[in-house]
């Protein structure tokens, strides 16, 4: 496989995987392009490479910056804004895990805690609702605690092992 075909295959696959991770395809493809690019790219470079509109590119670059995995950068003598991605795979995994916890797990925990804390009126339905949502809360909280322990570790054996498993 040649470079161009391999690059397109990687970008398209990363885009498809992104939808499974809760982000849109264009956002994942932009990240993939920036991740494998040795040099920062302008918005126009991204638009041309991926054949997407200025609005779509701008909105998704802004979201990637909010996630903390894409950065604005400048090039001496250029007026355009350029963008680059976090290149360290382990740091990228940690940042994404932190953001997913903040955006998804924490709000879910809040709802589960609220629901499992309702007043027990003594009915079977209420008791079952409280019991099952408490079980889900405990499971999600444990998973989040474990994820945060992994995320907060620097280059340790567990992080390296998990990254290897993900490859």
pLDDT of residue 151: 74
Domain spans of the chain, in order of start? 3-85, 89-166
Give me the count of residues in the chain.
Answer: 167
Q: What is the rounded average pLDDT of the residues 76-83?
A: 90
pLDDT of residue 45: 96
The predicted-structure confidence for 33-54, as pLDDT tens digits, reads as follows: 999 999 999 999 999 999 999 9
Assess contact for 33 and 46: CB atoms under 8 A.
Answer: yes
The predicted-structure confidence for 80-132, as pLDDT tens digits, reads as follows: 999 999 998 888 888 888 888 888 889 999 999 999 999 999 999 999 999 99
Backbone angles phi, psi at 70, to 5 degrees: -130, 145
Assess contact for 82 and 46: CB atoms under 8 A.
Answer: no
DSSP 92-146: HHHHHHHHHIIIIIHHHHHHHHHHHTS---S-HHHHHHHHHHHHHHHHHHHHHHH
* The Cα angle at residue 66 between residues 27 and 147, in degrees rounded to 5: 90
Q: What is the rounded average pLDDT of the residues 8-27?
A: 88
CATH 1.10.10.10 fits 3-85, yes or no: yes
In this structure, how many other beta carbons lie within 10 angstroms of the beta carbon of residue 126? 13
Assess contact for 144 and 112: CB atoms under 8 A.
Answer: no
The predicted-structure confidence for 140-165, as pLDDT tens digits, reads as follows: 999 888 888 777 776 555 556 665 66
Share of the chain above pLDDT 90, in %: 63
How does residue 167 score in pLDDT terms, banded at 50, 70 and 90?
Answer: low
In this structure, how many other beta carbons lie within 10 angstroms of the beta carbon of residue 118? 11
């Amino acid at each position: 496989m040649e470079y161009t075909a391999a690059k397109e295959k990687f970008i398209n696959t990363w885009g498809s995987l992104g939808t499974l991770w809760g982000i849109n395809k264009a956002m994942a493809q932009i990240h993939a392009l920036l991740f494998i690019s040795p040099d920062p790219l302008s918005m126009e470079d991204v638009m041309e490479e991926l054949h997407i509109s200025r609005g779509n590119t701008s909105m998704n670059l802004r979201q990637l910056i909010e996630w903390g995995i894409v950065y604005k950068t400048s090039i001496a003598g250029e007026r355009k804004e350029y963008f680059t991605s976090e290149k360290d795979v382990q740091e990228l995994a940690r940042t994404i895990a932190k953001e997913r916890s903040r955006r998804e797990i924490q709000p879910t925990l809040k709802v589960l805690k609220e629901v499992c804390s309702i007043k027990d009126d003594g009915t079977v339905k209420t008791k079952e609702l409280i019991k099952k949502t408490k079980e889900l809360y405990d499971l999600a909280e444990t998973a989040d605690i474990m994820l945060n322990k992994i995320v907060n570790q620097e280059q340790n054996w567990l992080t390296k092992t998990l990254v290897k498993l993900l490859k």
